[in-house]
Structures are given as structure tokens and as C-alpha cells.
Amino acid sequence: MPENWKRLLLLIVVAAFVAGIMFTGGCYFARDFLSAKQGSQLGVQANADSLPGTGPDAVADVVSRAGQAVVKISTKKNSSQTIDPLFNDPFFRQFFSIPFSSRQQEDGLGSGFIISKDGFILTNEHVIDGANEISVTVAGFDKSFVAKVVGSDYDLDLALLKINAESDLPFLNLGNSDQIRVGNWVIAIGNPYGLDHTVTTGVISAKGRPINVGDRQYENLLQTDASINPGNSGGPLLNLQGEVIGINTAINAQAQGIGFAIPTSTVQRVLEDLKNSESSVRPWIGVQVRPVDEESARYLGLTKAEGALVAGVIAGSPAQKAGLRQWDVVVEFNGVKINNADELVAAIKAAQVGQRVKVLVVRNRQLNSVNITIAEKPRNIK
């Protein structure tokens, strides 16, 4: 065969081989591209069917596990006048126009949750305050149980009840409220308006909120947009693991979707005292604090949104006597840096009554030092 024909035949074979490789690769590329496109479309559909950051059954799974441990608390107390029992919650009474009727017994409704299989129940103190009779309705039982108050704390608005059942009861575990973050999903379960086991969801809107409700002053509440209504008081605020991170307490009547809960960090600190019917000694300086956000940091001339902002100073308190003022920002307490309001509350709780501590505050863009003597919170201050 002539040399030129041999070269031409070799070129044809090589070209055919290269064309075959390119065709095969193109098929694989097209297949992978179509698969990726379809997977992307399926992913978009899956995300559209669920809450942000959760699966479609995440809340339902928590409710199915935790709901059986949430109870309805009914109370009776002697009174010369009464109101509709669905609104017999002093935290909400002032916000509604409710007709009074004349009779000798006042009925009340609230919520609570079981924390041990032998029948210990946590709720708010204001739910059972002044009650002559307390009965608890537990899901799955035909009759309600008579409850005994084991311990209560007016200032913290906590009460521990006990019921006796013939079998082990479902219960909830207390989680770590210090680990909850603003923006985390939460679930509230309770009996608003007497509607058993109503479930609402939302997020943590803020932490360390100080509020006044009636004659009570709270210093460190969780704020949530999960709906909380009359009858929710004492019910659990749950994380997505089904752990209790707060006890639902109050709403803000001047705003939509703003509720508050007592964090479990407060509960766990006094739980043993409540079980032993002991009154805890609480160190106190007499301030209300809130977190420093970016806006308040700019307004106060701070370089960073750090520290604890003094929102109010109680008259006659150790803080007032030491010269602490509203709008001061506490940045150090007894030699420990304070990054946020929660850390200041924790530092005060860890101090000893009678201890004299040095507090550094930013005031008018300057660093100032005040010395405060820690006192026990007076029982006549509500």
C-alpha cells in the first residue's frame, strides 16, 4: 500500500476515536446536568414545604412528645366579687373590659407542666396566689387531681405543686435557657381562654428583658413572638428538642405578638428551695437592665454594643445610694467584664449579701467607678 494511503487511514482511525470519546463525554455531561437541575428543583420544593431551618414535622413531633405533660390548673378562692374565670389572670385583667358579678367565690384558670414522673408541677405563682382549692387536669385521666402547693416565690413568680397519681406521669425536662439564641424557634403550649393544649410557635425576640406587670418587677425575661394569651400563664416555652427553656408569664398589651417567659436559668436556681419549702435569699442592688443594641450603643457613644444598660434604678436601693443612674452602661462588676445584661444579672446573683463590690460604668462617654453594697431584696418590694 502506498505510504500516503497508510497515513490517510491512520488519520481516519484517530479522528473516529476522538469523536467517540467526545460523544460519550457529552452524554455523561448532559445526564449530570439534567440530574442536577431536577435535584435543585426538588430541593426548592422541599424547602418551600417546611419552616425555615426545620422539617415539616419538627413542631408536630415536639408537641406529640411534650403535650401530654402540659396540664390545666383550675383554682377557687374566696372573694366578695368575681370575674369571668377565663380572664382571672392579674397580668391580663387590666387589659380587658370584663364585667364583674357578685358572688363569694372567684374561679381562675392557668397552665403548668409536670417535671417529674411522681407529679411535681411548675407554674406561675400568680396562677395559684390566694387559692383555697387547686385542681389539675392531666391529659389521659378522666378525673382532675387535687394539688398541694409545695413552695412558691412571689418575686420570681414561680410555684411548685404536687399531685398524687396511681401511675408514673409524663414529664418535661428543663433545658438551658442560657444557650437559646435570639432568632431560635420556640413552641408555647397552654390553655388560653380555657382551650386545652393550644399550640403556638414563634422565635426568641430578645433576652434579658426587664418589665413591670402590676406590682411585680421582672429583670431577666425571654421575649417571644409566640402568641401568649390569658390562660397560657405557667405553661412551657419549648425549644425544638422538646426541652423547657421558659415559663410563659405575660404579654405586652400595647403591642402585637410580644410575650414574655421566665428563663429556666432562674427556675433551676431556686427549684430545690421550692421543693424544700424554703425562701431563697436573693442578692439585689435594685436596677432594671436590658441589652445594649447597636442603636443604643451609637446614641450613648459606645464603640461596641457591649455591657448592660441600666433601664431603671429603684428608689432607696443600694444602686441609687451608690449613685448609679438610668442610662449608665455597666461594663465591669466586681472585677469581671460584663458583655451583656444576662452576665450582669448572673454576677449579681453570684454575689453575697453584705458584699461591697466595685462597678465600672460608662456615663456620658466616660468611665466611672461606683461601689455598691449588695443587699437582700426586701419582701415588701414587689
User: How is residue 43 written as a grid cell?
Assistant: 430541593
Which position among 89, 107, 111, 126 bears the catalytic label?
A: 126
Could you confirm whether 97 is annotated as catalytic?
no
Q: H or E element: which one contains 72? A: strand 70-78
Which position among 111, 177, 233, 265 bears the catalytic label?
A: 233
For residues 205 and 223, is the Cβ–Cβ distance under 8 A?
A: yes
Q: b vs e for 156-165, b when ≥16 Cβ sit within 10 Å of the residue's Cβ?
A: bbbbbbbbee
Which position among 89, 107, 155, 157 bears the catalytic label?
A: 157
- Measure the CA–CA gap between 355 and 152, rounded to whole angstroms: 27
Could you confirm whether 197 is annotated as catalytic?
no
Could you confirm whether 225 is annotated as catalytic?
no
Give the SS3 label for residue 368: strand
- Percentages (nearest 5) of helix, strand, coil residues in the chain: 30, 35, 40
- 361: Cβ contacts below 8 Å, ≥ 6 apart: 310, 324, 328, 329, 330, 331, 367, 368, 369, 370
For residues 359 and 333, is the Cβ–Cβ distance under 8 A?
A: yes
- Measure the CA–CA gap between 112 and 116, rounded to whole angstroms: 13
DSSP 97-139: ----B--SEEEEEEEEEE-STT-EEEE-HHHHTT-SEEEEE-T
For residues 49 and 56, is the Cβ–Cβ distance under 8 A?
A: yes
| Residues taking part in catalysis | 126, 157, 233
